[in-house]
Amino acid sequence: MKTAFIVALPDEVHHAEELKNIPVFYSGVGKLNAAMKAMELIQQGYTELINIGSCGSVQHKLGEIIRVGKVYQDIDGRPLCEYGHTPFEQNSECIVIDSVSEFSCFTTDYFYDHKQDAKYSAEYHHRIRNTSVFDMELFGIAKVCQRNNVKLRAFKWVSDDGNFDHWIENCRISSEKVLSLID
């Protein structure tokens, strides 16, 4: 199995080129950037991707490590379909990447900033409150991996709760913890 780490930003893992003798690739922020990088890695022959990175949560404490089981997307195709579903696709609300893990991730197109709560829809708020963590990349990676039959694991560390004042500091501390969980 040819494995690679896929991480949004170099600051999340001390600008590492490899971790545990596995190469690290940076996608940039957002679902589209993450999906494009995942596809590029698959085309290079990688058969397993491990997504690690920071995330937000209103349920879990700063520094807590989450192994993601299900990932939901932030998409609003109404009136063609319900919030969270992709129009004209079956079973598009979530992707299961680890059937053993009870934790979920909501991949959103916004940095969740609790100071701007009024700009978010009721459905968005529901997902923020009812998933374990939220990020901006995992759903894009998961969809590309699912479509190409590539194994995916995802480990997220809680770096914020909608307040970014200590994001960099929290990333530095937690990125080291997450590596101890990956075999």
175 pLDDT more than 70: no
| CATH number of the domain bearing residue 146 | 3.40.50.1580
Q: How many domains does the chain have?
A: 1
Q: Give the tens place of pLDDT for each residue, 151-163.
A: 999 999 898 877 7
Q: Give the tens place of pLDDT for each residue, 12-66.
A: 888 889 888 999 999 999 999 999 999 999 999 999 999 999 999 999 988 889 9
Q: Give the tens place of pLDDT for each residue, 63-115.
A: 889 999 999 999 888 999 898 888 898 888 899 999 999 999 999 988 887 77
Distances (CA, A) of 92 to 76, 153, 182: 12, 19, 28
- What is the extent of the structural domain holding 106? 3-179
Amino acid letter for position 30 = G
Which of 118, 68, 114 has its CA nearest to residue 94?
68
Cβ atoms of 7 and 25 closer than 8 Å: yes
181 pLDDT more than 80: no
Cβ atoms of 143 and 115 closer than 8 Å: no
pTM here is 0.92
Q: How far apart are CA 17 and CA 157, in angstroms?
A: 20
Q: Is 33 exposed, middle or buried, given 0-12, 13-18 or 19+ CB atoms closer than 10 A? A: middle
Q: How far apart are CA 65 and CA 68, in angstroms?
A: 9
